[in-house]
Amino acid sequence: MEKLQLNEVKEIIKSYCVSSLGKDLIDKLIPSSNIEVVQRRLNDNIEAKKILENSNHIPLEGVSNISSITQKVEKGMILDPIELLKVSDFLRGCSKIKKFMVDMNFYSPNLSSYSLNITELKEIEEEINFSIKNNKVDSNASKELKKIRRNIDVCEEKIKDKLNKFITSSNNKKYIQEFIITKRDDRYVIPIKSSFKNDVEGVILDTSSKGNTVFVEPKIISKYSLELITLKSEEVIEEYKILSFLSELINEKIYNINLNLEIISEYDMIFAKAKFSKNINGITPKINKNGYIKIIKGKHPLLKGGVVPLDIEIGKTYRTLVITGPNAGGKTVSLKTVGILTLMVECGFDICADPNTEISIFDDVFVDIGDNQSIENSLSTFSSHMKNISDIMKKSKGLTLLLFDEIGSGTEPNEGAGLSISILEEFYKKGCITIASTHYGEIKRFANLHPHFENAGMLFDKETLEPLYKLTIGTSQDSNALFISRKMGINESVLKRAYNYIQNKDYTIEVIDFSFDENKIEKEVEFENIEYFVGDKVRLLDKDDFGIVYKTIDKFNNIIVLYKDEFIQVNIKRVKLYIRATELYPKDYDLNSLFTSYKDRKLENDIKRGSKKALRKIQKEIKLNKN
């Protein structure tokens, strides 16, 4: 599942869920080897797509995952008002989806039948909505609560009235820091200047951060404050009774609510699968349990852009397919495509392919793909592959799909080829369906001889050196190493020798004498006295770039070179002749034009033909220079 990236496909499908209910179910979803389970999953897709085609809206948006809330109820915990409202919303959503699915019975008889197990709990929903409003227990939830809250209001009015008289009294003005009524620890207080804290009768409940103000509950309201505290306690107790009652109502129907959760989760997942299918233009393939795979125009779900579809067949006249072809030609993608499409179907997902595609349901799917080199266990790539194949061999039996990428690679070719053939034979004897990619010619030859083995190849454009990503069954493909090397400029004599070695194993041994000879020591080459001419192209050794000779060698062995629109002086030891001017330009070419800009050449031509505009321009420049 990891190598074939099934979890990445599941992440895409999860994005179509409307809640965590469906997402959690997709996370838990694993490929099934039971053909009846797979067929049911696929039939759900067919019906769900029909519903999507015949309705504008699936009423799942208002349904959220309340499993954590139901778990609290099962543990005997009391729900708070917000949690109760979530339960109410969920129950309302269950009623909507049940009605919707019953109405869709014509398009989806099986899918609609699931909704018959949804229990509508209108009485609980209504009780919650009556008792809880604005995320808190409503006063009308009980007569007692209504009475307590009315008494609280009366008591608070008395307190405020007393405090207003206190702060408006002329006798108290000098004590008061701010003429406001505020609260500390849910008790009413007046801000008093700290210098007068002993002059006001009452209880100090708080002090400002700077210490300039104390918050005093005046003695004149102490009786009412105690009354208010008592009433608030009674309110909390009454609210608790109401929340306990509602939580108990939910607990009595917890089995039904959990069953509703399961069904809604299933619907969320099924419709997410259907939306995914419509988005990829997916199909629900035929399935079997006999190992026969026929993929027509199949596409890997994670590949983007202009994907070349895969056509592949195995399991009827042959049970082992050997794929050959150049590197980066699509062999690994072909293996992964077969694998991921098989796993997707076993999970009940639609696939992007031709409607006549047929997929087998396997007991197991094993892959050996990628570089499994293990630093921790000191295993080479070859050793890791062999360890993986050894584990697969122990677990494989009967109806198993095996996908091997570059089987036997990473060791001496003759041994690798022989070992790979023997491994493929062993899996064949176990009754497995095997697809393996390889570069080994011996495996291809064995596949040609065995009646239940078949060769296939990835096509390659020999003109453009581009892989065509097209699989052809019945013919193998070379790795095209010599052809690619020739296109890349490898010497023909090297390629001829290589071809001879490959075909005839005839190795021509040529020995060269590399022994040390003092007479062959080259002396340091002194500076060559080369004459440079105007227009010669030279390499500037210090800049590793090119310039054009403007003035020839002076008495100090320097030349003037035009380099990037600038004339620079360079010693001839720091240049090297690249191309003579005679090779660069025609015989009668005006070399001076190399060093004159287009603007200057145009001005010169204008003067020659008597342009008044050009003459005025020169006169202006002369006048400016004089000034």
- Does 360 fall in a domain? yes
Pair 560, 431 in one domain: no
Contact 449, 320 (CB under 8 A): no
Q: Considering only CA atoms, which of 19, 8, 79, 13 is closest in space to residue 349?
A: 13
The pLDDT value given to residue 617:
67
- Opening angle at CA 76, ends 267 and 74, nearest 5: 25
If you average pLDDT over every residue of the chain, what do you get? 86
Name the pLDDT band for 525 (thresholds 50, 70, 90): very low
- Does 626 fall in a domain? no
- Does 449 fall in a domain? yes
Pair 362, 432 in one domain: yes
Pair 324, 453 in one domain: yes
Name the pLDDT band for 14 (thresholds 50, 70, 90): very high
- Does 134 fall in a domain? no
pLDDT digits (tens, 9 = 90+) for 569-584: 999 888 888 888 888 8
Pair 181, 329 in one domain: no
Please say whether the dihedral angle defined by the alpha carbons of residues 359, 365, 368 and 374, taken in this order, is positive or negative.
Answer: positive
In eight-state DSSP terms, residue 177 is S
The pLDDT value given to residue 524:
39
CATH of the domain at 365: 3.40.50.300
Contact 409, 416 (CB under 8 A): yes
Cα(606)–Cα(149) distance, integer angstroms: 104
Pair 326, 435 in one domain: yes
Domain span at residue 542 reads: 537-595
Inform me whether the pLDDT recorded for 465 exceeds 60.
no
Pair 31, 11 in one domain: yes
The pLDDT value given to residue 246:
97
- Does 569 fall in a domain? yes
Helices 612-626, 598-608: inter-axial angle, 10-degree rounding: 110
Strand 545-551 and strand 537-540: the pairing is: antiparallel
Total tally of structural domains belonging to the chain: 4
Structure tokens at 549: 């000779």
Inform me whether the pLDDT recorded for 289 exceeds 70.
yes
Inform me whether the pLDDT recorded for 379 exceeds 70.
no
Tell me how far the alpha carbon of residue 504 is from its chain's centroid.
Answer: 50
Among 36-45, 73-82, 322-331, 611-620, which stretch is predicted with the lowest mean pLDDT? 611-620
Pair 300, 440 in one domain: yes
Pair 111, 153 in one domain: no
Structure tokens at 360: 């087998």
- Does 603 fall in a domain? no
165 or 592: whose pLDDT is higher?
Answer: 165
Pair 306, 400 in one domain: yes
Pair 92, 149 in one domain: no
- Does 300 fall in a domain? yes
Contact 159, 153 (CB under 8 A): no
Cα(270)–Cα(348) distance, integer angstroms: 9
The pLDDT value given to residue 377:
42
Calculate the alpha carbon distances from 7 to 30, 31, 303 in Å.
10, 11, 15
Pair 458, 313 in one domain: yes
CATH of the domain at 232: 1.10.1420.10
Residue where a domain stops, chosen among 479, 508, 524: 479
Pair 204, 269 in one domain: no
Structure tokens at 85: 């409202």
- Does 502 fall in a domain? no
The pLDDT value given to residue 522:
43
pTM of the model: 0.70
